[in-house]
Amino acid sequence: MPHPPADTPRVLIVEDEVIVAMELQDRLEHLGYAVTDTLTTGEAALKQVPEQAPDLILMDIRLDGAMDGIETAEAIRAVQDIPVIFLTAYSDDRTLERAKAAAPFGYIVKPFEERELYAAVEVARNIHRLERQLQEQRDDLLQILDGLRQGTAMTDPEGCITFCSRAAGRMLGLPPDAMQGMPWAEAFPLADATLAALREATTLAPEERTAIPAEVDGTDGRHYRMEIDVQDDPRDPARHIFVLYDVTAVHDLRRMLDEGASYRGIIGTSDAMQEVFRQIEQVAQVNSTALIHGETGTGKELAARAIHNASARADGPFVAVNCAALNQELAGSQLFGHTKGAFTGATSDRPGFFETAEGGTLFLDEIGDIPLEVQRQLLRVLEEEEIARVGETKTRPVDVRILAATHRDLRAEVEAGRFREDMLYRIRIARVELPPLRQRRADIPLLVRALLQDARARLGKEADGIHPDAMRQLISYDWPGNVRELRNAIEYALIRARHAVLQMDDLPPEIAAAEDAAATPASEWPDDEEGRIRAALAHTDGNRTEAAELLGMSRATLYRRLDTYGIG
């Protein structure tokens, strides 16, 4: 006799012959199963199944009442995933065909033996368990595919779509369900040339395929630029998988940078930054000492590197020194080098920063923090273009260009006696003035996009957009820490983000809570699209790039809308 199952499955019997039902109950309980009830009609079964929730149903095909067992099984299986085994004394072809349509988990012909009953029940339970596992795995896979930022569409051997992820539907501009069963070439609203390229890709060997560029207006109002990969389904090469990658942000960023928004890694389209680019270009053409002035976080080292890279010294070293971090007692040694035994701890000859930067550029950041005595030594080096290591008397010629930077008012430092006046005149022969971020707010949308792309790559996060209200808050904020603070704020928001688009409550609290310089939030703008576009342009003083960011659309889409509504 087989051992009863350890988990004691619960079985419902639906049988209109009372004697047969009693025999089934005795045998099942003898085998170790629990019988929840014995019912005689399909109507009673439909009523009791939701309350009893059995693990399995033994169902006679011919029952008393208006519904037979097959109809009852179909009705139950339509709402609850419960395996059904049919019982019948009839095994004719017509009955079998009807029974198969109800997808039973077994079929027992009366009369039956106990071992047949046991085998049928256990096989049904095992098949049901495997089916549920497969369904869970399929659901998990679809959830993963739906959750990916790239879209996925799968086809059968005839080229009809069997699955389309939400991301693919959003990018293609159609609900995923609407594409089910459609030939992919009809479902994808792409240009004829793009469809032709995709058709050709399906005929090529996998190693010969390349990503196909495509453009389409999505369901969310955005104009998408995509790259589409065609892959073979591992189960059947006649089936294909289309993987859609959204490269809109990268394309728009590259285009804006190509349009003059970047100069040697420094981003900005505002008039203030265009002036900075002109200053850098001018300073790079000469070999004079230059002073870069700007608030903390404005990118002084970035400007210094741009000058170096645009100069004739670009092939030489660029050595950056944070003067605020120099040891006051050892600053001379760190800058000019020392000989063995020059002081306690000098166990060998060592070159300083000047010699390390030979033939290139030495960037002295926060030069206002250098001690007065070291300023004197530095002034002599600038005048004579030679150094003497600490501990030796001979001098060494050096070929180094000095770029200095500070956030301090050096004239005020001179008047306070903390900075030499002759040093001030010597280091500011050429000058570059970096504006604070609050004076170039038009650059913030582009900076946000660039910083977001950089942070995504470093953190492995998927958010690639920002809500118009959040962008508006970033534009309105005064940014005492300038671009460095903006970079940190974007990284903070990306770490907190729970959606594909950064929200207002993702921003650092001091920024999210800051008083908005302009009173009306984007959510309170007019409901119609034309009104929102006009409001965005009014808020940004006609800056279309900034307005597009506030509206959450690409600049190309904004231009099309401007033409549509006749907005100049």
Assign a CATH topology to domain 271-437: Rossmann fold (3.40.50)
Give the start-to-end residue ranges of the domains of the chain: 10-139, 148-246, 271-437, 442-565
Cis peptide before 111 (omega within 30 of 0): yes
Residue 439 in tokens: 């004076």
Give the per-residue SS3 of 426-441: HHCCEEEECCCHHHCH
Q: Within its chain, how far is the Cα of 261 from the centroid?
A: 23
Judge if 10-139 and 271-437 fold alike in CATH terms. Answer: yes
CA distances from 263 to 254, 274, 302, 314 (A): 13, 9, 10, 15
Closest of 360, 372, 374 to residue 403, by C-alpha: 360
Give the separation between CA 233 and CA 414, rounded to whole angstroms.
73
d(CA 440, CA 379): 35
Contact status, residue 474 vs residue 508, Cβ threshold 8 Å: no
The residue written with tokens 């196909």 in the block is 212
| Measured distance CA(49)–CA(36) in Å, rounded | 10
- As a CATH number, domain 148-246 is 3.30.450.20
Instruction: Taking the CA atoms of 379, 384, 389 and 391 in sequence, report the sign of the dihedral they define.
Output: negative
Q: Are 353 and 319 in contact (CB under 8 A)?
A: yes
Q: State the SS3 of 363-375.
A: EEECHHHCCHHHH
Say if strands 396-397 and 151-155 run parallel, antiparallel, or are unpaired.
unpaired
Give the chain's end-to-end CA distance (angstroms, integer): 89
What is the DSSP annotation of 452-470? HHHHHHHHT----EE-HHH
* Ranges of H-type helices in 53-191: 69-79, 93-101, 114-147, 166-172, 176-179, 184-187
- Return the CATH number of 10-139, one of 3.30.465.10, 3.40.50.720, 3.40.50.970, 3.40.50.2300: 3.40.50.2300
Per-residue pLDDT tens over the stretch 415-473: 999 999 999 999 999 999 999 998 888 888 888 888 888 888 788 777 778 888 888 89
| Six token digits for residue 451 | 């910083």
DSSP state for residue 211 in the 8-state scheme? P
Model pTM score: 0.54
C-alpha separations of 456 from 1, 226, 453, 466 in Å: 63, 18, 5, 13
Using CA atoms, how far residue 464 sits from 149, 150, 367, 454, 494, in Å, is: 9, 12, 39, 11, 9
- Say if residue 76 is exposed, middle or buried (CB neighbours under 10 Å; 0-12, 13-18, 19+): buried
- Number of Cβ within a 10 Å radius of residue 392: 15
Find, among 356, 283, 277, 294, the residue nearest to 320 by Cα. 356
The CATH architecture that domain 442-565 belongs to is Orthogonal Bundle (1.10)
Distances (CA, A) of 315 to 149, 291, 312, 361: 41, 22, 8, 10
**Exposed, middle or buried, 284 (CB in 10 Å: 0-12/13-18/19+)?**
buried
Taking a C-beta distance cutoff of 8 angstroms, is the pair 366, 322 a contact?
yes
| Dihedrals phi, psi of 391, to nearest 5 degrees | 100, 0
| H or E element in which residue 403 lies | strand 401-406
Rounded to whole angstroms, the Cα distance separating 285 from 172 reads: 50
pLDDT tens for the 568 residues of the chain, in order: 444 455 788 898 888 888 888 888 888 888 888 888 888 888 888 888 888 889 898 888 888 878 888 888 888 888 888 888 888 776 666 766 776 666 677 777 777 778 888 888 888 888 888 888 777 776 666 565 555 557 888 999 999 999 888 888 888 888 878 888 999 999 898 888 889 989 999 998 888 888 888 888 765 556 778 889 999 988 888 899 998 887 776 555 555 444 455 667 788 878 888 899 999 999 999 999 999 999 999 999 999 999 999 999 999 999 999 988 887 777 888 888 888 877 777 778 888 899 999 999 999 999 999 888 889 888 999 999 998 888 888 888 999 999 999 999 999 999 999 999 999 999 999 999 999 998 888 888 888 888 888 888 788 777 778 888 888 899 889 999 999 999 999 999 999 988 878 899 999 999 988 875 444 445 555 666 777 788 778 777 677 877 776 776 667 778 878 888 888 7
Strand partners, 41: 64
